[in-house]
Structure 1
Amino acid sequence: MSMSEVKICNLALRKLGARLIESLNDTSQEAVTCNLLYEQVRDTVLREHPWNFAAARVRLAKLAEAPAFGYSFQYQVPPDCLHLRQLMNAQDEFVVEGDRILTNRDSAHAVYTKRITNPVLFDPSFVMALAARLAAEIADDITGSNTRVKEMWTLYLNALQAARLADSSEGREDIRQDEPWLEARGLSDDPTVNVLWR
């Protein structure tokens, strides 16, 4: 069964014991509230974690004008970028100011969190976290209950933690050879030790 915005909204409404909707263009309070908040809540949850399904890599477009001070070069933030994770090397220093990326790297590539709008591309664990966050955001308007709001925020935090764990288990990163715990175990000079599970 393919995922859709309406299905995600209905997952949130179901958590609140509210009426389900058939379309975000319905005139019911439930549909109007979901329609008002869905996109912003989606983008917020996308920024909460470096989700594997939302990762994108790009060569950045250098801007002709250099920053006034502090850095040597500036680049355009990709239009669908929600969060810049790192430049080509994790050690590259950078700062994001508005729609510009400032760095000392002359040629820059980046890994970033992309705004994913098609729910079919969402990871199932992300869907549950998104639905829980949406339920928390709309709980007051739909139920008028502060207790329900608190319950939904707790539900969201738990769902987010579970989704982060599931997402992180699907990737591995290079291990830092100067980690003290590696030296203590006599592993820091072992070339076969090159991964760290996130």
Structure 2
Amino acid sequence: MAISEVKICNLALRKLGARLIESLSDSSQEAVTCNLFYEQVRDAVLRDHPWNFATCRCRLAKLAQAPAFGFSFQYQVPVDCLHLRQLSRADDEFVVEGDKILTNMDGASAIYTSKVSNPVLFDSSFVMAFSARLAAEMADDITGSSSKAREMWTLYLNAMQSARLADSSEGREDEILNDPWLEARGIHGLDSPVWRA
């Protein structure tokens, strides 16, 4: 069964021992509370980690007017950007002010976390973390228990740790480069016998 907003809400409600919902437009306390928290919690969890499924790359639109001081160029923040991770190179200095990116780099590109609203695109690890955070945020309203909220917050932190491990293992591994400190100890990158079993 495909993931949906209702299914994510029901995962959160199940963690709280609450009644499940059939639609976010239900008039039940559970549906109203899910509606209140869903989007804000989703965006907060998206910002908490550079999720692979939500990562975007783009060339930035340079604005005609330069910043008043401090930087040479300013660019428009992409409309779907939730969190700007880096510009063209990892060491490029920048600051986000409102809907502008200020930097000294001409012709900048960006890597950012986009606002993904379609649950079908969510990673399964994200779904588990998101539902735990949603349960944590809704716990007081649904159960009236602050200890349940703390329990759900711990569940969220554990789910995020697992999700980060799974998500970060996708893609190419970082190459162990030759390093003077390692070379002084007889270790020469991946070719060193130290790395061979």
Superposition TM-score, scaled by structure 1 size: 0.90
Relative to 1, partners in 2 of residues 1:122 and 1:182: Cα closer, same or farther, differing over 3 Å?
Answer: farther
Q: Which residue of 2 aligns with 1:166?
A: 166
Q: By how many angstroms is 1:172 displaced?
A: 3.5
DSSP 3-state at the match of 1:157: helix
Matches within 5 A, 1:167-186: 167-172=167-172, 174-175=174-175, 177=177, 182-183=182-183, 185-186=185-186
Structure 2 counterpart of 1:88, which letter? Answer: S
Deviates more, 1:178-187 or 1:53-62: 178-187
DSSP 3-state at the match of 1:44: helix
Matches within 5 A, 1:108-147: 108-147=108-147
Matches within 5 A, 1:89-108: 89-108=89-108
Q: By how many angstroms is 1:187 displaced?
A: 5.0
Query: Number of paired residues?
Result: 192
Relative to 1, partners in 2 of residues 1:12 and 1:181: Cα closer, same or farther, differing over 3 Å?
Answer: farther
Relative to 1, partners in 2 of residues 1:45 and 1:184: Cα closer, same or farther, differing over 3 Å?
Answer: farther
Q: Aligned equivalents of 1:97 and 1:42: distance in 2?
A: 23
Q: Which residue of 2 aligns with 1:52?
A: 52
CA RMSD of aligned residues (A): 2.0
Superposition TM-score, scaled by structure 2 size: 0.91
Identical-residue share of aligned pairs (%): 76
Matches within 5 A, 1:44-83: 44-83=44-83
**Structure 1 ranges of 4+ moved more than 2 A:** 171-188, 190-193
Q: Aligned equivalents of 1:116 and 1:92: distance in 2?
A: 26
Q: Aligned equivalents of 2:190 and 2:105: distance in 1?
A: 29
Q: Aligned equivalents of 1:20 and 1:35: distance in 2?
A: 13
Q: Aligned equivalents of 1:99 and 1:187: distance in 2?
A: 47
Structure 1 counterpart of 2:25, which letter? Answer: N
Structure 2 counterpart of 1:29, which letter? Answer: Q
Q: Aligned equivalents of 2:136 and 2:178: distance in 1?
A: 42
Structure with the greater alpha carbon radius of gyration: 2
Deviates more, 1:67-76 or 1:176-185: 176-185
Q: Aligned equivalents of 1:157 and 1:138: distance in 2?
A: 16
Unaligned runs of 5+ in 1: 194-198
Relative to 1, partners in 2 of residues 1:139 and 1:87: Cα closer, same or farther, differing over 3 Å?
Answer: same
Q: Aligned equivalents of 1:52 and 1:116: distance in 2?
A: 11
